[in-house]
Structure 1
Amino acid sequence: MKTVKSLKQALLQAEMQAEMPPRALKKQLSDEQYQSCFRDLMKGSESITYRDFIIPRLSELIEPFTRSYDSISVLEIGPGPESILGHLPNHHRSKIGKYVAFEPNKLFAACLKDWLCNGEGGLSPFPNWLCRPIVHQAKFAPSAEGISATSNSDQTSEKFHIVLFCHSMYRMQPKAEFIRRAVQFLVDLPEKGMVIVFHRDEQWDLAGLFCHEQATYPTGTISVKNCDEDLNKFSSFIVGFTWQDNDERHRMQSQWQQICRKLGHREMLPNQLVFSSPAMLATFSQLSVSYSSPPPGVPSWTVQRPLKNREVRGIKPPLVFRPTTIEHVAQCVRWAIKNGFSATVIGGGHSGHCVRPNVVAIDMGEFNEVHITSDWTLENSHESGSLIIAGAGCKAGEVISEARVKGLTVPLGSRPSVGAGLWLQGGIGNLTRLHGLACDAIVGAVMVSVDSGQILFVGNVPSRYRPAGATRSQNEEDLLWAIKGAGSNFGIIVSVIFRGFLVPTYFVKKWIISMEDGKEAISKLDGYAKQFTEELPRSLSASLYLYLEAEHLSLGVTIIETLTNNGKSENSCSDKIGAILGPTVSIETVDSLQIFDIEMYMSTIGGGHKKGKTSSFKRCVFLRKFHTSAACEALVSGVQNRPTPLCYVHLVQGGGAVQDLAPSATAFGCRGWTYACVITGVWPREADQTELPQAVIEWTYRVTAALLPFSDGVYSADLGPDPRDTMLALRSFGSNLPRLAYLKHKFDPLNLLAHTCPIQKPWTGPRLIILVSGHSCAGKDYCADVWKAVLAADNASTISIRKVSISDKTKKDYALACGANWRRLVEDRVYKEQHRADLTKFFEFQVWRRPQLPEEHFLEAVKDSVNVDVLIITGMRDRSLLPTLSPLVPGSRLLDIRVTRSKDDPFDTRAASERTPRCAESVHAKETSIHSCPSLVFENDLRGISKARQFAQDSIRPLLSQDLLKLAAMIPSVSNFPHFGIDFQHVLHISQCPEGLSLCTSLMEAQFAGSWSQVHSIICCEVGSLVFASSLASSVKIPLVLIRQAGKLPPPVVSVKKPKSHISSCDLEESRLEMDPRLVSSNAPVVIVDDVLATGKTLCATIELLRKAHVPTENISVIVIAEFPIHRGREMLHQREYGDIRVQSLLYFEGA
């Protein structure tokens, strides 16, 4: 999609090439013309940017002022006909006691004055003003004299808490001077004041000004109606002028219409042209101008060294510190704290957020020494060996090179130029399967606290490498844990201490397999990935590359064998794989430095080094086992639709040592993956300043989103402040996220490191969230209204209930963008059906640009219902609601009720008083199109309201029973058991409480969605399950089938590999689970009872056993006592194609 900036350039270029005659004098738009264009603009998709970005962020910024002061004062520059402040919540607007505006447009100024006095309903938008609002019909000038002259009033003595520019700086040059002048209007220190600027996202030269906060909205758009009159006004508005001569104006407008139609995107809205219009936010304070002098003696640069990442190459920070001692680093941090500034850290320069506009940067390049110690014994451990001390300015290749001299190595990443940011957030490379991640090898660190500027060391740091004045952190255990996987968020790391490993050589084999079509690619990718996972030992690692060569799909395979003894390959597995893959394209033995150059993206894909300089953008998804071809299909489809021939997907094999550690052992909580899938968008370096990079970035996010249903998490090393990364970051740390969010607030309370991977605690939602799903015209809203009324009547004084439609936000966006009537879209069935096709198309385009939009809409609905006990959400038609959404609100019970329609009912039941014929879209599409099993199914038939009421009484009301709260109270939480960092929920303690087991049994029996009379047997697995399953089996008088460890049951048996618990010891030997297949029937239902559902591994193994005993999945149900959604157990079931099995959980917990 073309940007507004590129459109403006094209329009101006056409005007220059037209060689307009002298008489065709340009003239600025009149106030009337500007007003007309502005109104048209705000009727389009620009209004979505205001609602989704500007208004929420403005509300967040003003919130601290409304808490600190009884009354606040605001100066707004160029507000237009209405102030954006009028859209803030009432409790914010009621605190605005003084309001002054500068608005040069006479029509806007008149409208603004009227709006301030006679707002909506004839009431002022600022009901508690201390003095009448003042509107100066004048320009805001960058000098006191200029303002005084144009305003006819001396405003230089007035001071304000907030000065606001909302899309009003376009003709203000130089912008730095206007911001400096605005800062002069802020209240005097120590009172807080803030200049807030919203603008189109572009690079500014602010002449040394420092921002306090920045944010971007990269998916904003602007739209215009595709007709000559509107395009004429729109194009003149974009360039800022028109012509005096009518003939020449008409001739130029005709050309501009063609340009708009050529560059405009037509797929998003009917009869609309859409352009990309990213937005940004920047805030400034008194200290942005009058900050204290930088610490003396600390070297600084006004131009930073060349950086690797294309995203940051053109960014010029106002100041780059280049400290040479650790005391310099501490001084920089204390200086930033004193002035209230955030900071970025430059290491290897690969990060897309190591520098930010108008933010101070700390370049750690001088800390580039590597030291090695031998015969070191780790504190609090019997382990001994060599340690490698690497400065934060070292590159991976430098560390490997120095260690190699001593016969050592560290399992760092796969590129020699990456820096400390990668080690601290994971570090995946060729030794990962054998020795683990780079962060797993960290045993200590030296750092500077961003809370105080104090020099600290944590973990095992040899005494001679502890800086003078450094102290051992009082929170050492927490800090070291956080550094190992999320280290860029918790302090300025100066040096890292690694455990050393013997240096290996590598035996490398490569294959390139050409494939005729996508079907063959899916088959081979699926087959090879499975085979490598099952057969390769830890000493062998596979990499797969999917790319297009001359428009033909190709699969590159690299098998790397790590040789640590005599340098000869003795592994027959490599030969066996070779026999399957066919002839190799190369075989070579390389050392620990040469291994960096053997990657296919360096040597083969797109011509390797011969392709010339390129830029890239990556995101990495951790994939679990390829149990279906669906993940492969998503990969192949992504590559086939790549925006440039250089894009590819790289699959790096995991498992092995990565899974030896429990997820809670370090901050790196994603350890169940078998492949790290690196989606890599690449384009020629000469295209950096075109719109191609944006197309590649959007492609990368789309492919990433398509793979999330098959993932175990997302690699945090790539993620930054881009809002599209926020949803991905929720998947980056597994169950460690709540603890990391707490530690982030504890160790970086000022958010000095604000531009790293975002860490935020999962949202705590209502006690019960009901998702009403089903096909269109099934009667979802009608049923939801009935259920809400029933629950409200039964619990009138005890719980609060709210009903929302997930589609209302999309309908609002659509109405704003294309001029439809939002109220009729919500209330008028016939009107909505007329717009259904365009509305669906609009939503699909939104998701195409923002792949995580459905999850964002869900979370917004939850956040808006923070004080609600029961939230009912309608309009849900996604295929896998529970696996996708439950980890986002791990403390809530999420219920998916699927509404279906009786085939004998010719009416639409969504309207109780006025029934209408069934809409054209069939509501009886095959249920297989919705893959996951709902919690409950309600058939909406001719019995209408009576049946819906009874359903609420029988199936929903019991979920609000006080008995469930009583049962939850019987489960104590035990901190730091069985490992540090785990809050263990002792579910088995229920059986040790008086009446605990009987209460639990009665709840299981009552809340089972099926019929006990049809159940053939109850399945239990090991002790945790046996406690509850035996009691239930006795109560319902159904046989109990035991699943035991291998060797505990007499033959005949069927068996499967027993998975390790996510909190169990990593040293347990591999074992198997067995059961007697004669005890179950292939024709009768069975119910699995388990104490806990976390990762889902044990449950999947149990289901696999039943499948081996010929029990079909449609005959299997599951009851769980306690579920921990943050571990994504339901997602595991979905990936293993067990999503059609109904799983019912009595209780839900946020932690482990």
Structure 2
Amino acid sequence: MKTVKLLKQALLQAEMQAEMQAEMQAEMPPRALKKQLSDEQYQSCFRDLMKGSESITYRDFIIPRLSELIEPFTRSYDSISVLEIGPGPESILGHLPNHHRSKIGKYVAFEPNELFAACLKDWLCNGEGGLSPFPNWLCRPIVHQAKFAPSAEGISATSNSDQTSEKFHIVLFCHSMYRMQPKAEFIRRAVQFLVDLPEKGMVIVFHRDEQWDLAGLFCHEQATYPTGTISVKNCDEDLSKFSSFIVGFTWQDNDERHRMQSQWQQICRKLGHREMLPNQLVFSSPAMLATFSQLSVSYSSPPPEVPSWTVQRPLKNREVRGIKPPLVFRPTTIEHVAQCVRWAIKNGFSATVIGGGHSGHCVRPNVLAIDMGEFNEVHITSDWTLENSHESGSLIIAGAGCQAGEVISEARVKGLTVPLGSRPSVGAGLWLQGGIGNLTRLHGLTCDAIVGAVMVSVDSGQILFFGNVPSRYRPAGATRSQNEEDLLWAIKGAGSNFGIIVSVIFRGFSVPTYFVKKWIVSMEDGKEAISKLDGYAKQFTEELPRSLSASLYLYLEAEHLSLGVTIIETSTNNGKSENSCSDKIGAILGPTVSIETVDSLQIFDIEMYMSTIGGGHKKGKTSSFKRCVLLRKFHTSAACEALVSGVQNRPTPLCYVHLVQGGGAVQDLAPSATAFGCRGWTYACVITGVWPREADQTELPQAVIEWTYRVTAALLPFSDGVYSADLGPDPRDTMLALRSFGSNLPRLAYLKHKFDPLNLLAHTCPIQKPWTGPRLIILVSGHSCAGKDYCADVWKAVLAADNASTISIRKVSISDKTKKDYALACGANWRRLVEDRVYKEQHRADLTKFFEFQVWRRPQLPEEHFLEAVKDSVNVDVLIITGMRDRSLLPTLSPLVPGSRLLDIRVTRSKDDPFDTRAASERTPRCAESVHAKETSIHSCPSLVFENDLRGISKARQFAQDSIRPLLSQDLQKLAAMIPSVSNFPQFGIDFQHVLHISQCPEGLSLCTSLMEAQFAGSWSQVHSIICCEVGSLVFASSLASSVKIPLVLIRQAGKLPPPVVSVKKPKSHISSCDLEESKLEMDPRLVSSNAPVVIVDDVLATGKTLCATIELLRKAHVPTENISVIVIAEFPIHRGREMLHQREYGDIRVQSLLYFEGA
């Protein structure tokens, strides 16, 4: 989608070419003079613009962010004052919540447009319902029909002179700076209107997202909205007005105006996107927010002894090359770093840190940068024994300014290495947030090798060390951190968030020799690609030992799918290969392209993206954008299909997907052992969008970035998480970051607030605590015409009547947000879309296309809509959400609200019911196609199913009484109270929920048994047997089996049961790394029947590994999945156990949990 910026360039270029052509043709008259738009023309264009999709940006970005910024002022002051520059016919402040507007006691505006100024005055006095939008003003609002000038003289010349001395808490520019040049001078002038210190004042600027040169100004907060759009009706009149509005002028001569507008109309139609809205052209219009204060202009002098630059060194990442920070510190000593931090704290500034320069957020516009490039020394110590450990060996001390190649080069001299990444120029940011490379399977992630660090606290500027730091490498004045266990844990996977790392201490490993074999496999079509990719990935996972690792590259060469395969063997046996496994792989893949033996430096140059894909680096300079998804095992071809489809639909021929094999040593550590909590992946899938460097200033980078996010979203259902090293402040990364740390996220959010309370490191991978939602969230799913809203209304009424004085209930439709967006963008009637079914059906096709396009641009939009509904219901006990149609609701959404019980009730329609039960008073013949057409496409098993038939309201009421109301039982809360939380067990940082303690409480086991028996969704009379696995399950399963009088089938460790048995590998505990020996689980297959249902009872559902192993055992005993149900005492959704079941194709098994917990 073309941006407004590119459209403006194209329009101006056309105008310039026409002008040059006129000058070259002497017979033509001189070109007519241009003129600015009149107030009437500007008003007409502005109104048309606000009827389109631009209004969505206001509602989803500007208004919420403005409300967040004003909130602290409304809490601190009884009355606040606002100066708004260029508000238009109405102030954006009128859209704020009432409790914010009621605190605005003084309002002054500068509005140069005469018509807008008149409308604004009227609106201020006679707002909606004849009431003022600011009901508690202390003095009447003042509107100056004048321009805001960048000097005191300019202000006094165009307004009352007494206004120049006024001071305000807030000065607001909302899309009103487009003709203000230079912008820095206008912001400086605005800052002069802020209240004097120590009172806090803020200049707030909303603008189209573009790079500004603000001449050394520092901003305090930044945010972007990269998916904003502007739409215009596709007709000559509207396009003429729109194009003139974009360029800011028209012509005095009518003939000249008509000629140019005709050309501009053609340009708009050529560049505009037509798929989003009917009869509309849409353009990308990213938005940004920046805030400034008195300190942005009059900050204290930087410490003179710290070297600084106004231009930073060349950076690797294309996203940051053109960004000019107002100041770049380049400290040479650790005390310099501490001074930088103290200076930033004193002035209230945030900061970025430059290491290797690969990060997309190592510099930000108008934000202080600290370049750690001078800390580039590498030291090595031998015969070192780790503190609190019996391990000994060599340590490698690397400065934060070192690049991977420099560390490897120095270590190699001593016969050592570190498992760093695959790029020699990457810096400390990669080490601290993971580090995936050729030694990962053998030695683990880079961050796993960290044993200590030296850091400057961003809370105080204090110099700290923690972990194993040899005494001679502890800086003078440094103190051992009192929180060293927390800090060492946190930097091993999320280390760029908690302080400024000065040096890192690695455990050294023996330097290996690398044996590299490469293959290229050509494939005829996507089907063959899916088959081979799936087959090879499985084979490598199952057969390759840790000393071998595989990399797979999926790309297109001359429009034909190709699969590049690299097998790398590491050996410390005097340069000799020790494994013949790669020869077996070669027999399958065919002749090799190359065979090489390389050392630890040469290995950096063997990657296929350096030499093969798209001609390698010989084809010239390129720019790239990457995101990495950590994939679990390829149990189905669905993940491979998503990969192939992504590559086939790439925006440039240079894009590719790189799969780096994991497993091995990565999985030796428990997810809770370090901040890097995603340990179950077998392949790191790097989605790499590439384009020629010369296309940096075109629309191509945006197309590539959107493609990268789309492929990433398509792979998330098959993932263990998302690699955090690439993620930054882009709002599209926020949802991905929720998947980056597994169950460690709550602890990390706590530590982020603890160690960076001022949010000085605000531009790193976002760490946010998962939202705490209502106690019960009911997702009412099903196909169109099934009666979802009707049933939800009945259930809400029943629950409200039963609990009128004890709980609060709210019902929302997940589709209301999309309907509002659609109505705003194309002028439809939102109320009728919600309430008038005939009207909605008329718009259904366009509405569906609109939503699909939104998701195409923002792949995580459904999850965003869900979280918005939850955030808006924080004080509600029961939230009912209708309009859900996704195929895997519980696996996808439950980890986002781990403390809530999420219930998926699927509403279906009886095929014998010829009527539409969507409304009791409006029975119409139903459309069989619309109700049942895609019923089989919904694969995941819902919590409950309600068949909506002719019995109507009575059946729906009874269903609420029997199936929903018990979930609000006080007995469940009583049971939860019997589970104590034990901190730092079995490892530091784990809050252990002692579920087995239920059996030690009086009446605990009987209460738990009665709840399991009552809440089982099936019929106990049809159950053949109850399955239990080991001790935790046995305690509860045996009591239940005795109560319902059903046989109990035991699953034991290998060797505990007499033959015959079937067996599967026993998974390791997710909270313990002690169980390293491989063992098996076994059961007697004769005790179950392939024709009768069984119920698995377990104490806990966390990662889902044990449950999957139990199901696999039952499948080996010939029990089909449709005969399996599961009851769990306590579920921990943040571990994504249901997602694991879905990935293993067990999503059709119903899992019921009595209790839900947020922690580990």
Q: TM-score, normalised by structure 1?
A: 0.99
Note closer, same or farther for the CA distance 1:941–1:18 as it changes in structure 2 (3 Å cut).
Answer: farther
Q: Is contact 1:15–1:252 with CA below 8 Å preserved after alignment?
A: no
Instruction: Give the % identical residues.
Output: 99
Query: Which deviations, in whole Å up to 9, do the C-alpha atoms of 1:424-473 show, x marking residues without a partner?
Result: 00000000000000000000000100000000001111111011000001
Shift of 1:154: 2.8
Q: Deviations over 1:353-387 (max 9, x none)?
A: 00000001000000000000000111111111100
**Aligned residues of 1:1056 and 1:1105 also touching (Cα < 8 A):** yes
Residues 896-917 of structure 1, C-alpha deviations (whole Å, 9 max, x = no match): 0000001111221111222223
Contact 1:432 1:657 in 2 (8 A): yes
SS in 2 for 1:937: strand
**In structure 2, what is the equivalent of residue 99 of structure 1?**
107
1:317-370 CA distances to partner (integer Å, 9 max, x unpaired)? 010000000000000000000000000000000000000000010000000000
- Name the CA distance, whole Å, in 2 between partners of 1:355 and 1:1080: 62
> What's the secondary structure of 1:652's corresponding residue?
strand
Contact 2:783 2:935 in 1 (8 A): no
Helix, strand or coil for the counterpart of 2:379? strand
Q: What's the CA shift for 1:21? A: 4.7
Q: 1:988 to 1:20 in 2, by over 3 A?
A: farther
After superposition, the C-alpha distances for 1:555-590 in whole angstroms (9 at most, x for unaligned) are 011110010122211212111111111111111110
Kept after mapping to 1: 8 A contact 2:22/2:28:
no
CA drift of 1:950 comes to 0.2
Q: Deviations over 1:616-675 (max 9, x none)?
A: 100000000000000000000000000001100000000000000110111000000000
Q: Specify which of 372, 377, 383 is matched with residue 369 of structure 1.
A: 377
* Greater shift in the superposed pair: 1048-1057 or 822-831: 1048-1057
- How many angstroms does 1:240 deviate by? 0.5
Q: Distance in 2 between matches of 1:174 and 1:19?
A: 40
Q: Deviations over 1:207-227 (max 9, x none)?
A: 100000111000000000001
> Please, what TM-score do these two structures have when normalized by structure 2?
0.99
Q: Any residues of structure 2 matched to 1:645-656 within 5 Å, and which?
A: 645-656=653-664
CA contact (8 A) 1:776 1:921 kept: no
Displacement after TM superposition at 1:931 (Å):
1.0
User: Which of the residues 510, 513, 519 maps onto 1:505?
Assistant: 513
2:668 and 2:1076 in contact (8 A); partners too: no
Question: In structure 2, what is the Cα distance between the partners aligned to 1:37 and 1:465?
Answer: 65
SS of alignment partner, residue 162 of structure 2: coil
164-173 or 114-123, larger mean C-alpha shift: 114-123
SS at match of 2:165: coil
Aligned partners of 2:114, 2:235: CA distance in 1, in Å?
Answer: 28
Whether contact under 8 Å (1:510, 1:558) holds in the other structure is: yes
The structural deviation recorded for 1:741 is 0.2
1:28-177 alignment runs, 5 A limit: 28-177=36-185
Q: How far apart are the structure 2 equivalents of 1:23 and 1:265? A: 32
How many angstroms apart in 2 are the aligned matches of 1:1066 and 1:426? 22
Instruction: Give the drift of 1:1143.
Output: 0.3
Q: Deviations over 1:957-978 (max 9, x none)?
A: 0000000000000000001111
Cα distance between partner residues in 1 of 2:604 and 2:370: 28
Comparing 906-915 with 965-974, which one deviates more in the overlay? Answer: 906-915
Counterpart position of 2:322: 314
Contact 1:317–1:356 (Cα < 8 Å) also in 2: yes
> 1:611 deviation in Å?
1.4
Displacement, 1:1100?
A: 0.4
Q: In the TM superposition, what is the alpha-carbon distance from 1:820 to its structure 2 partner?
A: 0.2
Cα separation, 2, equivalents of 1:492 and 1:417: 20
CA 634–462 in structure 1, closer or farther in 2 if over 3 Å, else same: same
Quote the offset at 1:22 in angstroms. 2.9
CA distance in 2, matches of 1:457, 1:1130: 40
Q: 1:15 to 1:637 in 2, by over 3 A?
A: farther
Change (3 A) 1:280 1:21: farther
Q: Is the 8 A contact 1:729 1:757 kept in 2?
A: yes
Residue 24 of structure 1 deviates from its aligned partner by 1.7
Alpha-carbon distance change, 940 to 1118 in structure 1, aligned in 2, over 3 angstroms:
same
Residue 895 and residue 18 in structure 1: after superposition, are their counterparts in 2 closer, same or farther (change >3 A)?
A: farther
Q: Does 1:533 align with 2:553?
A: no
What's the CA shift for 1:18? 14
> Following the alignment from structure 1 to structure 2, what is the Cα–Cα distance between the partners of residues 505 and 624?
29
Contact 2:420 2:431 in 1 (8 A): yes
Query: Does the aligned pair in 1 maintain the 2:647–2:657 contact within 8 Å?
Result: yes
User: C-alpha offsets along residues 161-203 of structure 1, whole Å, 9 cap, x if unaligned?
Assistant: 0000000000000000000000000000000000000000011
Q: How far apart are residue 1065 of structure 1 and its match?
A: 3.0
Query: In structure 1, how many angstroms separate the alpha carbons of the residues matched to 2:295 and 2:27?
Result: 48
Distance of aligned partners of 1:557 and 1:514 in 2 relative to their CA distance in 1, 3 Å threshold: same
Alpha-carbon distance in structure 2 between the residues aligned to 1:431 and 1:750: 37
The alpha-carbon deviation at position 709 of structure 1 amounts to 0.3
The answer to whether the Cα contact below 8 Å between 1:14 and 1:255 also exists between their aligned partners in 2 is no
Q: 2:983 touches 2:991 (CA, 8 Å); kept in 1?
A: yes
Give the Å deviation of 1:153: 3.7
Summarize the Cα distance change of 1:613–1:622 in structure 2 as closer, same or farther, 3 Å threshold: same
Residues 21/104 of structure 1: CA separation in 2 closer, same or farther (3 Å cut): farther
Instruction: Say if 1:1041 and 1:300 are closer, same or farther in 2 by CA, change over 3 A.
Output: same
Give how far 1:928 is off: 2.3
Distance 2:1071 2:46 in 1: 59
Instruction: Give the SS at the match of 2:902.
Output: strand
CA offset digits 1:27-63 (Å, max 9, x no partner): 1111011000000000000000000000000000001
Shift in Å, 1:608: 1.1
Cα deviation, 1:782-826, whole Å, max 9, x if unaligned, reads 000000000000000000000000000000000000000000000
Q: Which moved more, 1:735-744 or 1:901-910?
A: 901-910
Do the aligned partners of 2:22 and 2:31 also contact (CA within 8 Å) in 1? no
Cα distance between partner residues in 1 of 2:133 and 2:166: 22
How much has 1:839 moved relative to structure 2? Answer: 0.2
**Residue 14 (structure 1) shift:** 12
Aligned to 1:210: 218
Counterparts of 1:619 and 1:316 in 2: how far apart (Å)? Answer: 25
Contact 1:1084–1:1115, Cα closer than 8 Å, also in 2? yes
CA-to-partner distance for each residue in 1:1035-1081, whole Å, 9 max, x for gaps? 00000111111111111111110111101234431001111111111
CA distance in 1, matches of 2:191, 2:937: 58
Query: Residue deviations 1:736-783, cap 9 Å, x none?
Result: 000000000000000000000000000000000000000011000000
Gaps of 5+ in 1: none
CA distance in 2, matches of 1:945, 1:341: 60
Secondary structure (helix, strand or coil) at the match of 2:1034 reads helix
8 Å contact 2:1069–2:1075 — kept in the other structure? no
Matches within 5 A, 1:682-721: 682-721=690-729
Q: What's the CA shift string for 1:819-854, capped at 9, x where partnerless?
A: 000000000000000000000000000000000000
Give yes or no for contact 2:22–2:30 (8 Å, CA) kept in 1. no
> 1:1020 touches 1:1026 (CA, 8 Å); kept in 2?
yes
Q: Is the 8 A contact 2:695 2:701 kept in 1?
A: yes
- The answer to whether the Cα contact below 8 Å between 2:982 and 2:992 also exists between their aligned partners in 1 is yes
Q: Distance in 2 between matches of 1:150 and 1:801?
A: 55
Q: Does structure 2 conserve the Cα–Cα contact (< 8 Å) formed by 1:391 and 1:496?
A: yes
Deviates more, 1:144-153 or 1:830-839: 144-153
Q: Is the 8 A contact 1:660 1:1066 kept in 2?
A: no
Structure 1 residues 117 and 1040 mapped into 2: Cα distance closer, same or farther (>3 Å)? same
Match for residue 207 of structure 2 among 199, 205, 228: 199
- For residues 23 and 920 of structure 1, do their structure 2 counterparts lie closer, same or farther at Cα, with a shift above 3 Å needed? farther
Q: Structure 1: how far apart are the matches of 2:67 and 2:572?
A: 59
Aligned to 1:576: 584
**Aligned 8 A contact 1:78 1:103 in 2:** yes
What runs of 5+ residues in structure 2 fail to find an aligned partner?
13-20
Q: CA deviation at 1:19?
A: 12
Conserved? CA contact 2:944–2:1017, under 8 Å: yes
- Asked whether the equivalents of residues 634 and 707 of structure 1 are also in contact (C-alpha less than 8 Å), the reply is yes
Q: 1:256-304: per-residue Cα shift (whole Å, max 9, x none)? A: 1111000000000000000000000000000000000001110001110
